[in-house]
């Protein structure tokens, strides 16, 4: 059974691969889908054309969907070494909203441990939604 510690370890591993030559702000993320014994990781990948940059959280979501299709997210771990620790940006929260429940957990970690935890609805109480076809 996958543990939060394993997810934290994957987030750190991914953070170590972050391509952040412009900001120096390395982020790793790991996502655990509900009902699956798998984790999906992501890191931020920056670009000289800054707008083409992708955050770790979105990279992890896209990895999950690319591998398994639509799944609901049980939790996401985001690892930085920032002070204060960073929560997902608004763009990532909107992308996470597409695959999250109100009770999906968002764990914010540093190199040592998870330091903060939030229910998704605390971070984005009113996500933008469209009727699905």
* Residue whose structure tokens are 């953070």: 15
Task: Please report, as ranges, the residues that interact with Zn ion according to CB under 5 A.
Answer: 55, 89, 92
Of 55 and 124, which has the nearer Cβ to Zn ion?
A: 55
**Least spacing, CB of residue 57 vs Zn ion, in Å:** 5
User: Closest residue (Cβ) to Zn ion?
Assistant: 55
**Least spacing, CB of residue 50 vs Zn ion, in Å:** 13
Of 82 and 89, which has the nearer Cβ to Zn ion?
A: 89
Q: Compute how many other C-beta atoms are within 10 angstroms of the C-beta atom of residue 91.
A: 12
Whether the CB-CB separation of 83 and 117 falls below 8 Å is answered with no
Nearest to 32 by CA among 3, 70, 69: 3
Tell me the H-state helices in 1-133.
4-15, 56-68, 90-97, 120-123
37 tagged catalytic? no
Of 12 and 55, which has the nearer Cβ to Zn ion?
A: 55
**Least spacing, CB of residue 91 vs Zn ion, in Å:** 5
Alpha-carbon gap, residue 41 to 15, rounded angstroms: 9
Active-site residue identified among 37, 57, 121, 122: 57
**Residues annotated as part of the active site:** 57
């Amino acid at each position: 059974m996958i543990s939060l510690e394993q997810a934290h370890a994957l987030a750190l591993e991914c953070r170590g691969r972050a391509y952040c030559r412009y900001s120096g702000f390395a982020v790793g993320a790991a996502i655990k889908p509900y009902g699956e014994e798998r984790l999906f990781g992501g890191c931020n990948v920056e670009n000289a054309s800054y707008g083409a940059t992708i955050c770790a959280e979105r990279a992890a979501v896209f990895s999950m969907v690319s591998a398994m299709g639509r799944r609901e997210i049980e939790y996401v771990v985001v690892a930085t070494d920032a002070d204060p620790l960073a929560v997902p940006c608004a763009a990532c929260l909107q992308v996470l909203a597409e695959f999250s429940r109100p009770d999906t957990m968002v764990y914010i970690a540093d190199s040592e441990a998870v330091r903060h935890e939030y229910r998704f609805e605390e971070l984005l109480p009113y996500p933008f939604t469209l009727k699905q076809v």
